[in-house]
């Protein structure tokens, strides 16, 4: 998982292999279904092609070109290009934090990495974490975990938000055993 672009390409190749159809064919079939909402298309893809949630979600993103990665791919950009756009200018100094988290996650299987416009979503069956620069001076790691977290590093968020806990990180050195353990717990809970 060290090469985010390779992980995405592998997932898309696996979708083609599982379905026996090319991505353009799958996208055309999804568009021809008459469904327009992402969730309805994802449910349709799961039923029609026997895909799991993560694969169906990625397929719909590609078909609709609704996320940063697939939109960039349609424009000829790689995942790394999308990440470079997130970590540019005054936010460039946050990239080593992102990279440290990605390295810490290398041992986890079946992680879907979805770069969005200003952050990166990490998913298994559902989103378990998100990371990226909140401001020029602040990098945030959000996790979805219903369990209570000890300590004061992760701050509990109001219900209904994108994550239950957020930790602010100032450098790659802060991606330590505690951060990795919380990410592992969130990953394991995202089933």
State pTM to two decimals. 0.61
Compute the Cα dihedral for 48, 49, 55, 60 and give only its sign. Answer: negative
DSSP state of 143: E
Residue with structure tokens 């069956």? Answer: 125
Predicted local confidence at residue 167, as pLDDT: 96
Pairing of strands 127-133, 120-123: antiparallel
Give the separation between CA 29 and CA 153, rounded to whole angstroms.
Answer: 46
Strands (DSSP E) along the chain, which ranges?
112-115, 120-123, 127-133, 139-143, 155-156, 165-169
| pLDDT at residue 73, rounded to an integer | 47
Please tell me the predicted confidence (pLDDT) of residue 95: 94
- pLDDT per residue, tens digit, the chain (191 aa), is 444 466 777 888 889 899 999 888 898 899 888 888 888 898 999 999 999 988 888 888 888 764 444 444 444 556 677 788 889 899 999 999 999 999 999 888 888 888 887 889 999 888 999 999 999 999 999 999 988 888 889 999 988 888 999 999 999 999 999 999 999 999 999 98
């Amino acid at each position: 998982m060290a090469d985010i672009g390779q992980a995405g390409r592998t997932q898309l190749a696996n979708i083609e292999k599982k379905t026996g159809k090319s991505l353009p064919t799958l996208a055309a079939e999804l568009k021809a279904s008459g469904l327009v909402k992402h969730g309805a298309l994802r449910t349709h893809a799961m039923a029609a092609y026997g895909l799991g949630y993560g694969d169906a979600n990625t397929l719909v993103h590609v078909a609709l070109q609704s996320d940063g990665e697939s939109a960039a791919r349609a424009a000829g950009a790689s995942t790394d290009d999308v990440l470079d756009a997130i970590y540019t200018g005054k936010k460039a100094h946050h990239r080593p934090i992102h990279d440290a988290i990605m390295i810490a996650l290398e041992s986890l299987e079946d992680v879907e990495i979805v770069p969005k416009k200003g952050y990166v979503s990490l998913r298994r069956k559902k989103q378990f974490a998100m990371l990226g620069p909140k401001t020029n001076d602040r990098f945030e790691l959000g996790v979805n975990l219903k369990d209570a977290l000890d300590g004061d590093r992760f701050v509990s968020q109001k219900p209904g938000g994108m994550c239950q806990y957020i930790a602010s990180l100032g450098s790659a050195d802060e991606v330590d055993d505690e951060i990795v353990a919380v990410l592992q717990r969130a990953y394991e809970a995202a089933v």
